[in-house]
Structure 1
Amino acid sequence: MNQTPIGIRVRTVAVSAVLALVTALAGGATAQAQQAVEPAGVPTAQVPPFEHACVFEGVNLNEFLGVTQRLIGPPPCREAFVGEQWVRTFPSWGTAPSAQGTVYPAGYTPARPAPMDDFISKFRGVRIVNDIGTRQERSFTFGPEVVRRITLDSETGILFASFATPPLHPLSAGGHTTTVFMQLSAEHCDGLGTNPDENCLPGGEFQYTGVTPVRFFPRNTA
């Protein structure tokens, strides 16, 4: 199995506005990074705005996912204030829209005819690990409720399951990391191709994103 976190692998399907949006939610650091890197200095412009809507490529992800708290995920949305609850979002998973015309790797048989139904039937949830590999490491497990929307992309004809966790506890001031592990009851393939590394997710728990750097800032009360 390819060692790159599954959620940031290059897919072989056409890229549309929706696909660009959901794939960009992956963490930007590689799986080998195990600790947050403290920058030498933080420009004022990087301090998160008090208006906490996460806007990426013109799309308000808070509205798209139905989230009122600050979102952490895509590159423009990786800062928050100390004391502020936050919600982790991460790459959507895309499948063929129906059983018609699906293709699978040799030997794979889906549990449900429609690939998205197959994914949802096997999806058990996610484990969010903050500060992985450090003394401050903490894990939070959530179930199928993290699936917030299932959307059909009219340009590619692909169904996307988009994710957002319940609110997470604030982190202390400074640099941190957050990593997403997904849990499936059995192997799932998307019906879009025959390459297991690009078109399938393994059963059990597996790392779904890279180790994403985030930063929490103290509020200026002056």
Structure 2
Amino acid sequence: MNRPRLFAATVPALLAAALCAAPAASASGTAAPAARPHVPHCVASDGFDFNKVFHVKERIIAPPATCRVAIAKEPWVRAVLGWSTQTAEKAVYPAGYTPLRRAPIEDFNAKFVSATYVHDIGTPQEQTFTFDKKRVLRTGLTDLDGFPQSVPVSPPLKALSVGQHTSTVFITLSAEHCDGFTTDRAASCLPAGTIQFSDDTPFEVQPRPRDTKHPDRRPD
């Protein structure tokens, strides 16, 4: 995976934080629990399997065009491209910048406060959910070029209505962070505060497939 493009420098304070939990799975009324339906994995063109790497059993909405479908009444997870940094030994920084941690990736991790997920931004249906670092930040990863990487991955999010939606991700940092790749502040640094970390990713919520055991049942 590659570093994300940032589509905004800073943004004003977002809506109040809210938490959402996935519904508990129910067992069948007879001997054994009903089998869970197969959930297609989100796999990028380079073979990166988001579900496998992040140990996610729900459908994932992510940058690859093949990962843009959720199912009605089923929770889903939002993933983005990760943030990569130079190694500690080769890191360089703009003049006047002093990292909080020697390794740039550890500096990013230390300054990462939270991630905010906005559904249908700018519409009457807009919803905002914020989760702290412990719930979202996946660390100890490397990107395709072998650089250290961290990735914010949401907890399971509540199902949305059938139809077209967008998902936008913001992150909040406690202080300025520089990735160690260049001495160009504009190219290598993120400002303190809340910044947009993804584009307004479009996706579709589709009706649940017809239950083959109950052919007269209409799709949800």
Q: Place the TM-score, normalised by the shorter chain, in its bin.
A: 0.7 to 0.9
**How many residues are treated as equivalent by the alignment?**
180
Match of 1:109 among 77, 93, 98: 98
Measure the CA separation in 2 of the matches of 1:156 and 1:56.
16
Q: Which residue matches 1:168?
A: 157
Q: Deviations over 1:185-214 (max 9, x none)?
A: 000001111222221111010111111111
Secondary structure of the residue aligned to 2:114 is strand
**Do the aligned partners of 1:65 and 1:149 also contact (CA within 8 Å) in 2?**
no
- Which of 39, 42, 58 is the aligned partner of 1:54? 42
Map residues 193-208 of structure 1 onto 2, 5 A cutoff: 193-208=182-197
Per-residue deviation at 1:50? Answer: 5.2
CA contact (8 A) 2:115 2:152 kept: no
Q: How far does residue 82 in structure 1 lie from its aligned partner after superposition?
A: 0.7
Please show how residues 45-124 of structure 1 align to structure 2 within 5 Å: 51-57=39-45, 58-74=47-63, 75-98=65-88, 100-124=89-113
Residue of structure 2 in register with 1:190 after alignment: 179
Provide closer, same or farther for how the CA distance between residues 152 and 60 of structure 1 changes in structure 2, counting only shifts above 3 A. closer
The answer for the alignment partner of 2:32 in structure 1 is none
Report the Cα distance in structure 1 between the residues aligned to 2:165 and 2:142, rounded to whole angstroms.
34
Match of 2:123 among 131, 134, 138: 134
Listed one character per residue, the Cα deviations across residues 41-72 of structure 1 (whole Å, up to 9, x for unaligned) are: xxxxxxxx953211112232101111111110
Q: Where do 5+ consecutive residues of structure 1 fail to align?
A: 1-17, 32-48
Which secondary structure state, in structure 2, belongs to the residue aligned with residue 55 of structure 1? coil
Does the residue aligned with 2:83 lie in a helix, a strand or coil?
Answer: strand
| 1:121 counterpart SS class | helix
Could you tell me how far apart the structure 1 residues matched to 2:139 and 2:132 are?
15
- TM-score by structure 1 length? 0.75
CA deviation after TM superposition for structure 1 residue 124, in Å: 0.3
| CA offset digits 1:70-103 (Å, max 9, x no partner) | 11012210111111100000110001122x2211
Provide the TM-score with structure 2 as the length reference.
0.75
Structure 1 residue runs of 4+, over 3 Å off?
none
Hey, which of these two has a bigger chunk of helix by percent?
1
Give distance in 2, aligned partners of 1:108 and 1:126.
Answer: 24
Cα distance, 1:125–1:52 mapped onto 2, change above 3 Å: same
Q: How does 1:17-56 map to 2 (within 5 A)?
A: 18-19=1-2, 23=4, 51-56=39-44
Instruction: Choose 1 or 2 for highest CA Rg.
Output: 2
What is the distance in 2 between the residues matched to 1:178 and 1:219?
20
Does the 8 A contact of 1:103 with 1:194 survive in 2? Answer: yes
CA distance in 2, matches of 1:148, 1:178: 19
